[in-house]
Structure 1
Amino acid sequence: MAAVVFVHGLYHRPEHFALVAERMRAAGTEVLVPELHRGSLPADTAAVQAVVDSLQEPPVVLGHSYGGSVITGLAGAGHLVYLAAFVPDVGESAVGLGGASPELQDAIEPEHDGWTSLHPDRAAETLYGDCPEPLAAWAVGLLRAQAPGCGRGVPGHHGWKRTPSTYVVCGQDRAVHPALQRQMASRCTDAREWQTGHSPFIGRPDLVVELLQLLTANAPRQPNREAPTGH
């Protein structure tokens, strides 16, 4: 069974994937959740690439929201999963594709030196509005400040053009518009739609676990170390 690597979005932490990661590990799957917030898209991508390179077999890599820009730049994944995530093509960024919804933009508050954070109440409604209240409060409590510019980063490599990929549209998403998600899903090998909000790994972890178990069961068993290119 292949390993799974989770890649979180802006303002988030690895701990946001805890509900799904615990279930996957209990079923015997190796799970890795690297910390982003390295200051730029290239730095975030390099951090995840190091994790992928450390594994014996090509992992299933799931990127959420901005995490889609990160996983797009990877080489050596066995399968890419875009969960309400951005799928940039050559020269594109998350912001250029449409970026955050007006609701999420309204939740952003300035910090220092260009850093921003999310207003707790607005974040709860926009990111976790369909989650049970205790879980939504837990998730909001994990949110952290975000360095500027990451969402404007342009991947230098486009793994989804060579690596099998699955896009999951979150049909009740208030943070990334579902219509935009459907457009980006057309770039992937496979697509499906869940009637969830932006964060099903918190509100509906069963859906995420079921999908990942299916993909890891069918993942390639030979190393897949393609060299990054600009395509």
Structure 2
Amino acid sequence: MSDGAAAVFVHGLYHRPEHFAAVAAGLRAEGIAAVVPELHRGSLAADTAAVQAAVDALETPPLLLGHSYGGSVITGVRGARHLVYLAAFVPDVGESAAALGGASPQLRAAIMPTAGPEGTTLLHPGRAAGVLYGDCPGPLAARAVGLLRSQGPGCGRGVPERHSWKRTPSTYVVCARDRAIDPALQRTLATRCTGMREWRTGHSPFVSRPALVVGLVRELIAGVSPRS
């Protein structure tokens, strides 16, 4: 693609941009710019500002994909041509990811406190693979777990200041074998979006099935016009 097509990926809690490396490489090979901002800025507002800066720095409006908590972030960002919610939260006015719920018992059991600042948590390495990467081969899951980082408190309780899905075309991807966020909640949240897909994957298809994510992004970029 040569029209300045771009995609911005917003990772979820505990994750890093490196978790999207295979997806970013696949898109760049096809001429689509791929940007993955680092979150963990201390609050939803700060995370949103970081992603907004990444969007504003691009020459054309990008496709904006948020995974899990990243859905709360992209909800507050202006200037996207299309929004993709990947097993993600789609907050309405006054809602936060925490208030929407849906975290599985397995995910809650995997969260443990760290020796760092009060309220900082980490995912138990022995449990995170099954919860987040249950459909990945062992070595791939182990690498993804090794990339996970600690998470400061409060981001999931943040409430977006604006709600871009109400004015921007959007696609929700339900991960039907998700062991972290209840697929039933995902299907309910999908009704807030313009369209819906359902994949028989776990919580993190950008790790387990990167070609699936690349194909969706390519398809959506080809099918929508830039927005001012």
Give the TM-score band, short-chain normalised: over 0.9
SS of 2:168 mapped into structure 1 = coil
- Does residue 158 in structure 1 map to residue 167 in structure 2? no
In structure 1, what is the Cα distance between the partners aligned to 2:138 and 2:171?
29
| 8 Å Cα contact 1:60/1:81 also seen in 2 | yes
**Count, aligned residues:** 223
Give how far 1:121 is off. 1.4
Residue aligning to 1:82: 85
- Does residue 52 in structure 1 map to residue 86 in structure 2? no
| 8 Å Cα contact 1:16/1:202 also seen in 2 | yes
Question: Which of 89, 101, 104 is 2:104 aligned to?
Answer: 101
| AA aligned opposite 1:14 | P
Residue aligning to 2:203: 198
Q: Percent identity between the aligned chains?
A: 70
Give how far 1:220 is off. 2.1
- Partner deviation per Cα, 1:175-196 (whole Å, 9 max, x = no partner): 0000000000000000010000
Q: Which has the bigger relative contact order, CA under 8 A and spacing at least 6?
A: 1
TM-score by length of 2: 0.96
The worse-fitting range, judged by mean Cα deviation, of 165-174 and 110-119 is 110-119
Residue aligning to 2:142: 137
- Partner deviation per Cα, 1:6-55 (whole Å, 9 max, x = no partner): 00000000000001111100111111000000000000000000011111
| AA aligned opposite 1:180 | L
The worse-fitting range, judged by mean Cα deviation, of 201-210 and 36-45 is 201-210
Question: Which of 177, 184, 187 is 1:172 aligned to?
Answer: 177
In structure 2, what is the Cα distance between the partners aligned to 1:50 and 1:28?
22
In structure 1, what is the Cα distance between the partners aligned to 2:84 and 2:193?
9
Give how far 1:100 is off. 2.0
In structure 1, what is the Cα distance between the partners aligned to 2:102 and 2:157?
9
TM-score by length of 1: 0.95
In structure 1, what is the Cα distance between the partners aligned to 2:196 and 2:34?
23
SS of 2:143 mapped into structure 1 = helix
Give how far 1:99 is off. 4.4
| 8 Å Cα contact 2:102/2:185 also seen in 1 | no
Residue aligning to 2:193: 188
SS of 2:91 mapped into structure 1 = coil
Unaligned ranges ≥5, structure 1: 225-231
Give how far 1:120 is off. 0.6
Give how far 1:170 is off. 0.1
| 8 Å Cα contact 1:58/1:220 also seen in 2 | no
- Does residue 219 in structure 1 map to residue 213 in structure 2? no
- Partner deviation per Cα, 1:109-159 (whole Å, 9 max, x = no partner): 101311000001110000000111111001000000000000000000000
- Does residue 33 in structure 1 map to residue 36 in structure 2? yes
In structure 2, what is the Cα distance between the partners aligned to 1:219 and 1:54?
20
SS of 1:90 mapped into structure 2 = coil
| 8 Å Cα contact 1:60/1:219 also seen in 2 | no
Give how far 1:219 is off. 3.1
Give how far 1:221 is off. 2.9
| AA aligned opposite 1:207 | L
In structure 2, what is the Cα distance between the partners aligned to 1:133 and 1:23?
22
In structure 1, what is the Cα distance between the partners aligned to 2:134 and 2:125?
12
